[in-house]
Amino acid sequence: MGLLEGKVGLVTGGGSGLGRATCVLAAREGSKVIVADIDEAGGKQTVAEVEAVGGEAAFVSTDVADPEQVKAMVAATLSQFGGLDWASNNAVGGAGGFHALHETEDHTWRRTMDVTLDGVFYCMREEIPAMLERGGGSIINIITASVSKGEAMLGSYIAAKGGVDALTRTGAAEYSARGIRVNSVAPGGFNTPAIARYFERFPEDRERTIAQHAMRRIAEPDEIAQPVIWLASDRASFVTGACVLADGGINVNSHLL
């Protein structure tokens, strides 16, 4: 029997990278999945990959920065699959690029906050009542291994993820007694088409990125999806308010080796 047999889950940003890997692994473990994304082609591709492993999924077009669309996303989950047991708030977005703080423009800051921080708040606000209705659930927010140390040139992204980290622990404090566990996963670098394209353009950054990890490699998305699925499952029944580091040792890396 799979880890998520009979459960219903929802993954934002399910149309690419970690979100897609989470949907496919969840389906392998017996969960039905709602794939929510702003990118219809990517989302539908994920649905096809879920079906290819014998799972059941549906795509719901969603911009997580829009509270009305987030409300509709959870309503669609309930009408399609009859409830919600777990959700991974994974979508990330913003204006992109690397900017020092004093050169960060309003629109860069604003869009990053709208999608990456406000989006998680809107999602939690809709997911929690659906899970309370079900008698409990599990929320897994995706942050980043750099959240506690900061990251040069990525101020708006790191600030948004710091907010998600705080929302995660606040959610755990408020809802654990009512059966909803709220945790985060903090990934190190992992392989996505966007990162592969970036490394092709800036090969010297590939070496620098790999050297940040004590394991001297970046991950495949499936290696990050594994702890997400574990947190979603009843195996993690006493885990709440935690941050699972899946960072290949970024946080223990030493310059002496």
Q: Are strands 32-37 and 57-61 parallel, antiparallel or unpaired?
A: parallel
What's the CA gap between 32 and 38, in Å, rounded? 20
**Per-residue b/e over 154-172, b at no fewer than 16 CB within 10 Å?**
bbbbbbbbbbbbebbbebb
CB of 238 vs ligand NAD, minimal distance in Å: 25
Measured at the CA of 178, the angle between CA 176 and CA 182, to 5 degrees, comes to: 30
Q: Pick the closer one to ligand NAD by CB: 136 or 249.
A: 249
CB of 8 vs ligand NAD, minimal distance in Å: 19
Q: Pick the closer one to ligand NAD by CB: 13 or 137.
A: 13
CB of 168 vs ligand NAD, minimal distance in Å: 12
Q: Which residues contact 238 (CB under 8 A, 6 or more apart)?
A: none
DSSP 179: T
CB of 124 vs ligand NAD, minimal distance in Å: 14
122 is catalytic: no
Q: Which of 122, 157, 175, 198 is catalytic?
A: 157
Q: Where are the alpha helices (DSSP H) in the chain?
A: 17-28, 40-52, 67-81, 106-112, 119-134, 155-175, 193-201, 203-212, 221-232
Which single residue brings its beta carbon nearest to ligand NAD?
17
Q: Pick the closer one to ligand NAD by CB: 90 or 104.
A: 90
CB of 202 vs ligand NAD, minimal distance in Å: 14
Q: Which residues contact 63 (CB under 8 A, 6 or more apart)?
A: 38, 69, 115
Q: Pick the closer one to ligand NAD by CB: 37 or 127.
A: 37
Q: Which residues bind ligand NAD (CB under 6 A)?
A: 12-13, 15-19, 37-39, 42, 62-65, 90-93, 115, 142, 144, 187, 189-190, 192, 194-195
Q: Pick the closer one to ligand NAD by CB: 187 or 227.
A: 187
Residues with a catalytic annotation lie at 157
